[in-house]
Amino acid sequence: MSYSDMRRAAAHLPVTISSAILPGSLWGCYDAANDVILIDRRLTYTAKRCTLVHELLHWRHGDDGCSNDRSKRERRVRRQTALMLINPVELALLERMYDDDLWSIADELNVTMQVLEDYRAILYDTSPNK
């Protein structure tokens, strides 16, 4: 699904999605008090697509505001975003085609490097304290 398809589909949800110029390195933000998701308008369509899924998951969980990177709810949402956007069969085929060229793989999957890295961390993380 492309970013514009997502925007159209999300128009039926009881949450407002707007684009804005966000401060600093913020890509997106969910404001629970007003039920508004803001997406930085300067992002590429690929980044907007990933950010929208990420913020919609915060909305669904009722996570208020923009949390810091290391919080539990942030990790949960990043994990779910990666699982939602990446098809494991497609990834396996691309890994055969491109080896470790993660940029090309992310480009083919239409996801950001961060989403791809989050997904690979889930796949290859065998640590017991996951």
- What is the binding site for Zn ion (CB under 5 A)? 74
For the bound state, the minimum distance from the C-beta of residue 129 to Zn ion, rounded and expressed in Å, comes to 22
Q: By the 8 A CB rule, do 19 and 40 touch?
A: yes
Closest distance to Zn ion from the beta carbon of 54 (Å): 6
Whole-angstrom Cα distance, residue 127 to residue 107?
28
Q: Beta-carbon neighbour count of residue 14 at 10 Å?
A: 6
Rank residues 32 and 108 by Cβ distance to Zn ion and give the closer one.
Answer: 32
Amino acid (one-letter) located at 105: I
Residue entry with tokens 């915060």: 58
Q: Which is nearer to Zn ion, 74 or 107 (CB)?
A: 74
Please report where in the chains the tokens 């969980």 appear, as a residue. Answer: 61
Beta carbon of residue 101, minimum distance to Zn ion (angstroms, whole number): 27
Q: Which is nearer to Zn ion, 3 or 105 (CB)?
A: 3
- In the complex with Zn ion, which residue's Cβ is closer, 74 or 95? 74
Q: In 11-128, which ranges are continuous DSSP H helix?
A: 45-61, 72-85, 88-98, 102-109, 113-124
Number of Cβ atoms within 10 Å of the Cβ of 130: 8
Least Å from the CB of residue 6 to Zn ion: 17
